[in-house]
């Protein structure tokens, strides 16, 4: 009788632990030895060449421009010589003064007994030393009672930093001289104070300031590019004519003002003050701008212009107009 052998239970194959269960392997940091990186000269050579050429061309252009300015300054200055800074103009009844550059300043003075013109430092209001010399050209005609003087100084449109700035033109008027004055500049301001029979001022590029000024026969001022600022005293001028192409106009009339007053500008504001109680015939218009008028200027005036103290005509194409007492 055989004995049955019990079956041997089958063992399951050993399972490998999952990757989530496996601990991360320990790794030491990777250290590479330092090494020197050599630039690739062949790759950046075109850029370095381009930068060098551009820089050299820029420096050359600057040097040539400075040399041209220096040469132009030297050539311009050759036409002028050293002359006395003071010029005597006598005692005419009228004077026409023209200046190409620099501020023109006209002042009354008790220190001179005839019209005296001086080329002075900018802003100066006194004559220079009698022995002073300046590089300029002054052409004066004093043979008749109507004198004229033309002042020219070396100038360039673009002066180098080392070039001398133009001198101011100072004109001193002796007290008590009856003078009709005309002043014009190409590039420069005009400042006039004092008593005259008539005043006319013009500037292509520059501001005009008159005042306090008396000129019974009339006042005229015009500026292409620049502001006009005028203060008139008594006796009032017979007529006032002010015009600016680009610039503001500010006018203060005396209390006894009358006659015809005309103020125009193409691009700029206008302010006119007419103190006192005189009634005016007013015509004010601005194509693109506001007009503000004191009602007292026309209140109570008659319909006819002949009954008004004066005719005030003010116009601006682009700007504000203010008319006050």
The total number of residues shown for the chain amounts to 325
The parts of the chain modelled with pLDDT lower than 70 are 1-44, 66-79, 156-164, 300-306
CA 54, distance to chain mean position in Å, is 35
* Residue-level pLDDT at 303: 46
Mind listing the pLDDT tens digit for each residue in 10-31? 665 555 555 555 555 656 666 6
If one counts every other C-beta atom within 10 angstroms of the C-beta of residue 236, the result is: 24
Those residues with Cβ within 8 angstroms of residue 180's Cβ, 6 or more apart along the chain or in another chain: 93, 94, 95, 196, 197, 198, 199, 217
pLDDT at 91: 97
How much is the pLDDT for 157? 46
- What is the predicted pLDDT for the residue at 253? 97
Q: Count how many Cα atoms sit within 13 Å of the Cα of residue 239 in the half-sphere of its side chain.
A: 6
What is residue 55's predicted lDDT score, i.e. its pLDDT?
84
300, burial (CB in 10 Å: exposed 0-12, middle 13-18, buried 19+): exposed
Q: Is 19 helix (H, G, I), strand (E, B) or coil?
A: coil
- Domain regions of the chain by residue span: 83-156+164-184, 189-325
* pLDDT at position 8: 55
Tell me what pLDDT residue 49 has: 78
pLDDT at 304: 45
Q: What is the dihedral of CA 270, 271, 274, 275, to 10 degrees?
A: 180
pLDDT score for 60: 80
Q: Residue 58 has what pLDDT? A: 86
CA atoms within 13 A on the CB side of 174: 14
pLDDT score of 47: 75
What is the pLDDT at residue 302?
46
Q: What is the pLDDT of residue 26?
A: 59
**Confidence at residue 76, expressed as pLDDT on a 0 to 100 scale:** 54
- Token digits of residue 53: 């050429």
């Amino acid at each position: 009788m055989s004995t049955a052998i019990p079956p041997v239970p089958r063992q399951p194959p050993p399972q490998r632990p999952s990757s989530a269960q496996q601990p991360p392997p320990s790794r030491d940091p990777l250290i590479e030895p330092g090494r020197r990186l050599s630039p690739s000269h062949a790759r950046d050579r075109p850029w370095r060449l381009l930068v060098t050429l551009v820089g050299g061309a820029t420096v050359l252009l600057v040097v040539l421009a400075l040399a041209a300015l220096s040469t132009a300054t030297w050539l311009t200055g050759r036409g002028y010589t050293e002359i006395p800074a003071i010029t005597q103009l006598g005692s005419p009844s009228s004077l026409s003064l023209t200046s190409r550059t620099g501020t023109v300043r006209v002042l009354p003075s008790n220190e001179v007994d005839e019209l005296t013109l001086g080329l002075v430092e900018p802003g100066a209001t006194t004559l220079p030393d009698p022995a002073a010399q300046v590089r300029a050209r002054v052409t004066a005609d004093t043979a008749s009672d109507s004198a004229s003087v033309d002042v020219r100084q070396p100038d360039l449109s673009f002066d180098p930093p080392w070039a001398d700035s133009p001198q101011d033109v100072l004109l001193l008027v002796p007290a008590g001289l009856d003078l009709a004055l005309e002043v014009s500049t190409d590039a420069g301001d005009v400042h006039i104070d004092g008593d005259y029979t008539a005043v006319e001022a013009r500037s292509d590029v520059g501001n005009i300031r008159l005042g306090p000024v008396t000129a019974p026969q009339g006042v005229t001022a015009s500026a292409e590019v620049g502001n006009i600022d005028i203060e008139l005293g008594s006796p009032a001028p017979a007529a006032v004519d002010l015009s600016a192409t680009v610039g503001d106009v500010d006018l203060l009339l005396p209390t006894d003002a009358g006659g015809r007053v005309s103020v125009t500008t193409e691009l700029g504001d206008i302010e006119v003050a007419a103190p006192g109680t005189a009634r005016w015939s007013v015509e004010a218009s601005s194509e693109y701008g506001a007009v503000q008028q004191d009602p007292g200027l026309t209140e109570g005036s008659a319909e006819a212009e002949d009954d008004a103290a004066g005719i005030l005509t003010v116009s601006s194409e682009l700007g504000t107009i203010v008319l006050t007492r």
